[in-house]
Amino acid sequence: MLIRLGYAIEFDLPAEVCMLAMLHVHPSRVPDLLEPDELVTEPPLATDSYLDSFGNRCTRFVAPAGPLRLYGSTVISTSNEPDAMNFAARECPVGELPHEVLIYLLNSRYCEVDRFSNIAYELFSYTTPGWARVHAICEWVHNKVAFNYQQARPTKTALDVYTERVGVCRDFQHLAITLCRALNIQARYATGYLGDIGVPTAPFPMDFSAWFEVYLDDRWWTFDARHNQPRIGRVLMAVGRDASDVAISTSFGQANLTKFTVVTDEVPELYRVSA
């Protein structure tokens, strides 16, 4: 299956500002690209790309005062099968984990693991360790938290979501991640494209999406507490401890967002022949 990915983001800058952008597909998906995946700026600016400590591709630049537009588009070949599942996947003992995975058991900006130990034990200690326990966490978060764009705020943590029981996709994932970590299950935040492929079209504008990944049986598996069902056409952009590690844009000074558009559409297979 082929998917057209794209975005256009516009800012009004009161003064010159240094910015970071995380708008590329994840390096692990680069072999699947059929077109270049480049960030274009208006006005044209000198940009520099690098890989951060989590392996995500980032772009840095300095933008002058005035209007700024960031945009890009590419086509990716991806599976037409839903997210992989393995009901027999087992938890990995903490003492046997790779060094680089241990960080996904710790507290982070939006995931107060130390405050969830008793909560997680009371809710999920009865479940079978491994896939069944993570699935139970997803089910619980999906059923207990209501989705509402109007309730989004950048300071909302997992504990806030647990208390308020409402949020957007990132809030669902933060709560699920925190519950997993509190039970010594390695979980990390993921962001990327997720179009309405194989499901009814959502009644709101397309946006980047959030989900989370869990380390079971020596590999990462995709889970999504917001949708709580395997989806088709998920395209990873970045991973980290939580949303603070994978911000789409970061400005070291004032940058007023004025427009935001995301595209993720299935395209005909004949494109592969003509491209």
Tokens of 209: 């999406």
CATH number for the domain harbouring residue 47: 2.60.40.2250
CA distance 235 to 171: 20
Q: Which amino acid is at 84?
A: A
Strand (E) positions, 22-139? 40-42, 47-51, 57-63, 66-77
21 lies in the same domain as 129:
no
Contact 238, 188 (CB under 8 A): no
CA 195: distance to chain centroid? 13
Q: Is the pLDDT of residue 103 over 70?
A: yes
Residues 112 and 222 placed together within one structural domain of the fold: yes
Give the Cβ contact number of residue 188 at 10 Å.
24
Indicate if the pLDDT at residue 81 is higher than 80: yes
d(CA 169, CA 18): 28
Question: Both 259 and 222 in a single domain?
Answer: no
Residues 157 and 221 in one domain: yes
Reply yes or no on whether the pLDDT at 79 is more than 90: yes
What CATH number did the domain enclosing 191 receive?
A: 3.10.620.30
**pLDDT at position 201:** 85
Domain that holds residue 228: 94-232
Please name the residue ranges forming H helices in the chain: 117-124, 131-144, 158-164, 169-182, 270-274
Is residue 84 situated within a structural domain?
A: no
Tell me the DSSP string of 236-274: EEEEESSGGGS-SEEESS--EEEEEEEEEEEE-THHHHH
Is the same domain home to 263 and 187? no
Q: Is 226 found in the same domain as 106? A: yes
Does residue 272 or residue 27 have the better pLDDT? 27
How is residue 126 annotated by DSSP?
A: T
Residue 273 reports pLDDT greater than 70: no
> Domain tally for the chain?
2
Query: Is residue 88 in some structural domain?
Result: no
Q: Are residues 152 and 65 in the same domain?
A: no
pLDDT > 90? residue 203: no
Q: Tell me the CA distances in angstroms from 177 to 124, 161, 218, 237, one per residue in order.
A: 14, 12, 18, 18
Summarised one tens digit per residue, pLDDT across range 14-70 is 999 999 999 999 999 999 999 999 999 999 999 999 999 999 999 999 999 999 999
Cα distances (Å, whole numbers) of residue 222 to 50, 168, 250: 25, 18, 26
Pairing of strands 166-167, 146-147: parallel
Q: What's the pTM? A: 0.95
Residue 209 lies in a domain: yes
For residue 198, the SS3 value is coil
